Amino acid sequence: MPFSTALPLPAAAAPAMCLLPDPAAIWLHVLSDGAIGLAYLSIPAALLVVLLRRRDLAFPWLLGLFALFILACGSTHLVHAYAAFRPMPWGEALVKAVTAAISVVVAVTLWPVLPRILALRSPAALAREVEERRNAEVRARASEARLAAFINNLAEAVFVLRIGADGSFQIESVNPAFERMLGLDAASVVDRRPEEVLPSALVAQALPRWRQAAAQGRTLDYEIGVELPAGRRSWQTVLVPMRGPDGRVERLLGSARDITATRRLQAGLVQSARLATVGTMCAGLAHEASQPLNTATLWLRRARASAEPLAAAQRTVLLRAVAVVEDQLRRAGDLVARIRGLAGDEPDGGEAFDAAVAVGAALRIAGTQYAADGIDFALHADEQPLGVRGSAGRLEQAVLQLLANARDAVVERRLAEPDAPARIDVFLRREAGRVVVEVRDSGQGIAEAARDAIFDPFFTTKPPGRGVGLGLPFAAGVARGMGGGLEAWNLATGGACFRMELAVCEAAGPAGRLAASPVAA
């Protein structure tokens, strides 16, 4: 059967087809145009789906333009296929013209955009970048972990203070050294105000410095000494202001170093140097004064002996004069003996003994001596023996001097404030390889002006006739002679604390068991 009879031949009027005499070729044209047209309709639909689903595409409008271009091309093919059956020369021409216009627009638009399209990174480049960033992140995390480990293991206490809009402070974070130094748990201080959680004596000293650093926006270095339950501590702190994006100081980064031992050592050295000079002078003076005093005393005895044969009236006058001079010489001699006692060296090391026994003896004497003053004396002591080396008698005398000093301070304060507490507490303990004797009183405290001079011989704040100013220098000399030292400071609660530190001697004899107990009222 001829092909032309099997298929209805599209209209011979179709001008494009008129050059194709073979109907089979014409059908191939028609089917191909139909297929191309349908495919061209499907592609923009797919592009549209991509466009709607992926909103992050670069140049989405270009994709839309391509979709339009393909759609237009598809329409020309479909119209062409349709025209094989029903010729429509104008319709076909118009569709083609629209397609041409769109094609030209797409072609013209594409070239200027091309460099920008080429500049887009390829997926491989993107993958590489992602990988690099991931590696950088791993490195940053490792570095952060190292930094955190460093801060966590730092011997210095590190703390961060957040500054509120009203200028108040809040603790943002602290490191383990901070927790150890203050004996506080991080969880109990973080996000709290320092005034609520830190020791008040510390805050009272530190707060003005924090405010200053926050106001000036400059690094600040300061030193404070604070009385804590564990003892007196000195810290050197560096405050660094940290600014936010707007330039306002938002945080303070603080790092504090415990310089208690250094300060104590320095104070001891200064005291030693001072007392070495004064000590040399005192020893020379004691010796030189003792010679004429000695000769005068000896000759006075001769004078007294020669008074024997005199008449009663003359003898009475002479003996009275001798007694007065003898009394004055004795006074001068006692002073010389006390000055001599300041030296305090025990080159032979002295004997090993339990400090608790000597301190207990001093407390009993003071308790009896000052019984009329109505002062509460209490001893708080470790139960272990506190072995030291030196002279037990001299230590007892030294502690007695500290107790006498404390008693005078309490009595003095009570003159001004009759209702003031009247307590003297003696603490005896072993601390960091040292034996510590602390005498704390509820007295008037040490006047700021007197602070540096209280251990100097002949310095006294007492009224004339009440002590010559050799008690504390003697106590300091004894402490130094026993491998330690003496320091003093005012307590936050009022009163003063005198802390005597002595070198430990393990080979001490058996200790008298001592516990916290009132000694005398």
Applying CB under 8 A, does 296 fall inside the site for other proteins? yes
Draw the binding track, 100-139, toward other proteins (x: CB under 8 A; -: no contact): ----------------------------------------
346 binds other proteins (CB under 8 A): yes
CA dist 203 and 229 (Å) reads 15
Q: Does residue 286 bind other proteins (CB under 8 A)?
A: yes
Single out the residue of 132, 137, 345, 417 in contact with other proteins (rule: CB under 8 A).
345
Which candidate, 350, 351, 363, 339, places its Cα nearest to that of 285? 339
Residue type, 153: N
The one-letter amino acid code at 413 reads R
Q: Provide the 3-class DSSP secondary structure of residue 382.
A: coil
Q: How far apart are CA 121 and CA 114, in angstroms?
A: 13
Nearest to other proteins of 113, 289 (CB atom): 289
Query: Measured from the CB atom, is 5 or 291 closer to other proteins?
Result: 291
Number of residues that bind other proteins (CB under 8 A): 28
By CB under 8 A, which span of 97-105, 126-134, 331-339, 454-462 interacts with other proteins?
Answer: 331-339
Q: Which is nearer to other proteins, 196 or 345 (CB)?
A: 345
Rounded Cα–Cα distance for residues 27 and 35 (Å): 12
Q: Please, what is the minimum distance in Å from the beta carbon of residue 322 to other proteins?
A: 14
Choose between 299 and 458: whose C-beta lies nearer to other proteins.
299
- Applying CB under 8 A, among 146, 301, 451, 513 the residue interacting with other proteins is 301
**Between residues 350 and 367, which has the closer beta carbon with respect to other proteins?**
350
Q: Looking at beta carbons only, is 46 or 324 nearer to other proteins? A: 324
Say if residue 312 is exposed, middle or buried (CB neighbours under 10 Å; 0-12, 13-18, 19+): exposed
Quick check: 331 binds other proteins (CB under 8 A)?
Answer: no
Decide if residue 324 touches other proteins (CB under 8 A): no
Among 102, 207, 289, 352, binds other proteins (CB under 8 A): 289
* Phi, psi torsion values for 508, nearest 5 degrees: -80, 155
The sheet that has 169-174: what strands, in order across it? Answer: 169-174, 157-163, 249-258, 231-243, 220-228
* Size of the chain, expressed as the number of residues it contains: 521
Region of 50-58, 78-86, 335-343, 470-478 interacting with other proteins (CB under 8 A): 335-343
How is residue 476 written in tokens?
């300091």
How far CA 287 is from CA of 101, 112, 290, 292, 339, in Å, comes to 125, 109, 5, 10, 10
- For residues 473 and 456, is the Cβ–Cβ distance under 8 A? yes
Q: Under rule CB under 8 A, which residues in 266-285 are in contact with other proteins? A: 283
309 binds other proteins (CB under 8 A): no
Residue by residue, DSSP assigns 104-149 as HHHHHHHHHHHHHHHHSPPHHHHHHHHHHHHHHHHHHHHHHHHHHH
Nearer to other proteins, 122 or 291 (CB): 291
Residue 495: which of 439, 441, 415, 425 has the closest Cα? Answer: 441
Distance CA 166, CA 151 (A): 29
Tell me the C-alpha distance between 265 and 278, whole Å. Answer: 20
Question: Is 134 or 287 the residue whose CB approaches other proteins more closely?
Answer: 287
Q: Residue 432, CB half-sphere, CA atoms under 13 Å: how many?
A: 6
352 belongs to the binding site for other proteins (CB under 8 A): no
Instruction: Output the smallest distance, CB 416 to other proteins, in A.
Output: 41
Confirm or reject binding of residue 312 to other proteins (CB under 8 A): no
**Minimum Å distance from CB 340 to other proteins?**
6
x/- letters, 224..263, toward other proteins (CB under 8 A)? ----------------------------------------
**Sites of contact with other proteins (CB under 8 A):** 283, 286-291, 293-299, 301-302, 305, 329, 332-333, 336-337, 340, 343, 345-348
